[in-house]
Amino acid sequence: MKTQWFSRVLIGFVSVLSLGIFCWPILVGDAAGAHAGLAQTIFMVLMPLLVAIVLIEFSTGGIDSRQIALLGVLIALNSVIRMLGAGTSGIETAFFLILIGAYVFGASFGYLLGAGSLLVSALLTGGVGPWLPFQMMAAGLIGVMAGLLPRPASKRLQITLLTLAAVIGSYSYGALMTMWNWPFLAGTGTSLSYIAGGGIATNLGRFINFEIVTGGLLWDTGRAITTCALVLLTAPALLATLKRAARKAGYQRR
């Protein structure tokens, strides 16, 4: 019980920290120049933090060597799957496995699966850039969301919940990835620009307009359609397979 409590506190802290980093434009009072090195700083903090999550889970008995191996296999598999879509025209093939894997194994596992999948796929494709740590955090948050979903007895209802999570996660991922650098992309002096020191409501309204005008919502719609289709196609078989793997590995959903 203590192990589960500690794990939940840890993943809750990581999730809140990630959301705070993404939403800094509407949470802080100005777009200070200190944010110029934000991506590099986050990457240096995020890597040890991911390792720390694994080590703490391992040391408290929340995860063992078999489960770490299973996590590695899913990350490697999802990294290859992502190369089939790579986000072109909103077609994204990586998130269905993050959602299903996190749903079976829980929030902590989901964060590691999401962040690890984006990291390894970026290394395989050469897609390493200042956007990578933000992609990792956003994918990790999608994993946390799926890991916290209830698990009703009906398999049809489980798939319905995963499909709904695919829609919410797809739009949330797009919004978060735009939010962190929106002040720099929108420039200054326009109706879409970030207002330094402006209220949350003011800047949030401008951000939504920016998403509409630039076509971000259309791109996210493509991601949502792709992810929903893949969930509906693969979830019946994947849920059964991963649940068997979880039982054999002695993994308890956390």
Taking the chain (254 residues) in runs of 10, the rounded mean pLDDT of each run is 64 81 70 51 67 66 71 91 71 91 90 91 81 88 94 93 96 89 79 79 86 83 93 95 81 62
pLDDT of residue 62: 59
Q: Is 126 exposed, middle or buried (0-12, 13-18, 19+ CB in 10 A)?
A: exposed
Give dist(CA 162, CA 149) in Å, integer.
8
Write down the pLDDT at residue 34.
Answer: 45
In a domain, 48, yes or no: yes
In the chain, the number of structural domains is 1
Q: Is residue 193 part of a domain?
A: yes
pLDDT at 132: 86
User: Is residue 87, in this structure, part of any structural domain at all?
Assistant: yes
Report if residue 131 sits inside a domain: yes
Q: Tell me the residue range of the domain where 123 lies.
A: 2-249
**Does residue 254 lie within any of the structural domains?**
no
Calpha distance 68→76 (Å, rounded): 12
Quick check: is 199 in a domain? yes
253: which 2 tokens?
A: 């959903």
pTM reported for the whole predicted model: 0.85
Residue 222 located in a structural domain: yes
Q: Does the residue 130 lie in any domain?
A: yes
Closest to 46 measured CA to CA, from 99, 94, 116, 106: 116
DSSP classification of residue 88: G
Q: Classify residue 195 by its DSSP letter.
A: -
Separation of alpha carbons 67 and 105, rounded Å: 10
